[in-house]
Amino acid sequence: MENPARADQAESWSRPNPRLLTLRRGEVGAGAVALLLIGVGLSFTNIFVGACLAVAALLVAGVGLTYVGRRFRSWGYLERVEDLLVRRGVMFERLSVVPYGRMQTVEVTAGPLERSLGLATVQLHTASAASDARIPGLDRATAADLRDRLVGRGEATAEGL
């Protein structure tokens, strides 16, 4: 148990909504299908290039889907008494600790694709640009609740700079 992000499994980490995985899989799938279609189109003029693109599409789909699954499982956040923990990353594993008192703004964003699945991203900003506390793929109601809770805790312990 070298990874502190994994070590705290006993405390219940909250996870993004599984629909985020659907969204990411869809994105990889769309990329692969686009490659495949270009390959099919080109195979009428040059069968070799077409075949290469088809193989590339299969590779993208295979590697992409595995990676997206592992990446999805790596996301997690934990609200502690004084700070928020956010973990992420497969190759580079990261764990951020952001004290509520340091929060300057809480941002909730939802792109068109996220919106279509009823998802939103919550991001915490501190006075430091390096602070890294972003939680994607939250159910919209969960995101709003989390935002309100964070703002409330931030106000209670505001310390600014």
Q: Which residues bind other proteins (CB under 8 A)?
A: 2-5, 7, 82-83, 91-99, 101-102, 126-133, 159, 161
Give the other-Cβ count within 10 Å of 26's Cβ: 13
Backbone phi, psi, residue 107, to 5°: -115, 130
**Nearest CB to other proteins, comparing residues 39 and 88:** 88
Nearest to 122 by CA among 99, 105, 100: 105
CB 13, min distance to other proteins, A: 15
Dihedral sign (CA 143, 144, 149, 152)? positive
CB 5, min distance to other proteins, A: 7
Residue 8 is classified by DSSP as G
CB 102, min distance to other proteins, A: 5
Sequence-distant (6+) residues with CB within 8 A of 58 are: 32
**Nearest CB to other proteins, comparing residues 61 and 98:** 98
Enter the tokens of residue 52: 């290469």
**Nearest CB to other proteins, comparing residues 41 and 89:** 89
For residues 22 and 12, is the Cβ–Cβ distance under 8 A? no
CB 101, min distance to other proteins, A: 7
Q: What residues does 123 pair with on adjacent strands?
A: 107, 134
CB 89, min distance to other proteins, A: 8
**Nearest CB to other proteins, comparing residues 95 and 110:** 95
**Nearest CB to other proteins, comparing residues 27 and 159:** 159
